[in-house]
Structure 1
Amino acid sequence: MLDVIGAGFGRTGTLSLKLALERLGFGPCHHMIEIIDDPEQIDRWARVIENGDRNWDEVYRGYRATVDWPGVAFWRELVEHYPEAKVILTVRDPKSWYESARESIYRAGSIHTDDPVGVRRRRLVRRLVWEGDFGGRFEDAEHAMAVFTEHNDAVRREVPAGRLLEFRVSQGWKPLCRFLGVPVPGEPFPRTNDRREFAERVAQRQGR
């Protein structure tokens, strides 16, 4: 049963939000990193994407929240399926988002791998994100930024205002905790997965 649905695209602070939600008691929180760290998740999401197996309670068994892809690609279905869940739209400037996504998650997909698990994961991400959300045109910056902007606008239009928090991770704990109705922790808001950290994580995974 999901209590929180993240509706923001990857590279809008979603990993920081994941860590924050887990610190606040809304964990485990699903994120693309789950697919990277757990090969069994590749098969689970392949069934969702390729076979239309949309048993969301089973897909998210054991999770209380989801942010980032793959879940954000199905945000409308999740918002409908979990009518009591609160929705968080992480946002940032479209140009800075595009530059960050291009130099991190998109570039990572071009790194050669002979690892069968890596090949399957890359196929999944390509079909879901680059061919799915961006129609195979992510390298067209104007198109990609238009998709990003329209996605955010659609979330704003379709999710009732009382159920939605538009959030920049730079805002820290207060708006997030107020929205979720929980106390503000006495520790800094988690900030992680900038481009340098992302590159180091990819290099480590590639054995370099």
Structure 2
Amino acid sequence: MSLMVIGAGFGRTGTDSMREALTMLGFGPCHHMSEVMAHEEQKRLWRALARGETPDWSQLFAGYRSCVDWPSAHYWRELIEIYPQARVVLTWRSPESWWESFEKTILPAIVGSTDQDSLGIALVAKQVFGGRPQDRAHAIAIYRDNVEAVLNTVPAERLLVHKLGDGWVPLCAHLGVPVPDEPYPSRNTTQEFRSALSLQ
């Protein structure tokens, strides 16, 4: 089994809804940060990668047909080369609304963590945001840069920019599958995220 869909969007751009959507469309299991948090072996493998160990992608994605969200979204450049047949999906929302959501969810989890090996600190805070995740202007610039890099790197015919609210139609067209009768999933709202981490 190899990856068929690669997500290149940051966390808090609808990645958990996309994870559920891809699963419903037959592209699951889908790798997401929730998988790392739920499985000790996943946590061990991805923490080793964040520390700089040489990646074994087939091991990191063993059993998965797609990936979205961090940690994998940080490695989209490598993944699009390793899985040349995979379609790419850039989940997107406006930079300002992304920051508003990130500031209320992932950022407090990072700031509140004392585990320096956690992916929130070792990968997201340090590598994605250069050690400055709390700097709004800097974080938004990094977000914009990632979007630009994806648009400038991934061939247009391979890429779908999926904005919050776009739903099934563009996604199913991109993946060549029928549109389900069920509503497009809506998961992991700010309130749900905060409740799960007891950040209320």
Normalised-by-shorter TM-score class: over 0.9
- Distance in 2 (alpha carbons) for counterparts of 1:128 and 1:101: 15
- Distance in 2 (alpha carbons) for counterparts of 1:24 and 1:169: 18
CA contact (8 A) 1:6 1:66 kept: yes
Q: Deviations over 1:15-74 (max 9, x none)?
A: 000000000000000000111212221111122222422111111010000000000111
**Identity level (%):** 46
- Distance in 2 (alpha carbons) for counterparts of 1:107 and 1:142: 17
2:101 corresponds to: 100
The reply on whether 1:71 has 2:66 as its aligned counterpart is: no
The reply on whether 1:148 has 2:149 as its aligned counterpart is: no
What is the identity, as a one-letter code, of the residue corresponding to 1:149? R
Offset of residue 112 of structure 1? 5.7
- Distance in 1 (alpha carbons) for counterparts of 2:165 and 2:119: 31
CA contact (8 A) 1:16 1:169 kept: no
- Counterpart of 1:167 (choices 159, 162, 183) is 162
1:195 corresponds to: 190
- Distance in 2 (alpha carbons) for counterparts of 1:175 and 1:58: 31
What is the identity, as a one-letter code, of the residue corresponding to 2:74? A
CA contact (8 A) 2:22 2:30 kept: yes
- Counterpart of 1:176 (choices 171, 174, 186) is 171
What is the identity, as a one-letter code, of the residue corresponding to 1:63? Y
List gaps (5 residues or longer) in structure 2: none
SS at match of 2:172: helix
Cα RMSD of the aligned pairs, angstroms, is 1.6
CA contact (8 A) 1:17 1:169 kept: no
The reply on whether 1:37 has 2:38 as its aligned counterpart is: yes
1:14 corresponds to: 15
Higher helix share: 1
CA contact (8 A) 2:3 2:65 kept: yes
Offset of residue 109 of structure 1? 2.3
- Distance in 1 (alpha carbons) for counterparts of 2:77 and 2:169: 27
List gaps (5 residues or longer) in structure 1: 114-118
What is the identity, as a one-letter code, of the residue corresponding to 2:48? R
Question: For residues 111-150 of structure 1, what are the structure 2 equivalents within 5 Å?
Answer: 111=112, 119=115, 123-150=118-145
CA contact (8 A) 2:71 2:119 kept: no
Q: How many aligned residue pairs are there?
A: 199
What is the identity, as a one-letter code, of the residue corresponding to 2:57? W
**TM-score calculated relative to the size of structure 1:** 0.91
What is the identity, as a one-letter code, of the residue corresponding to 2:148? D
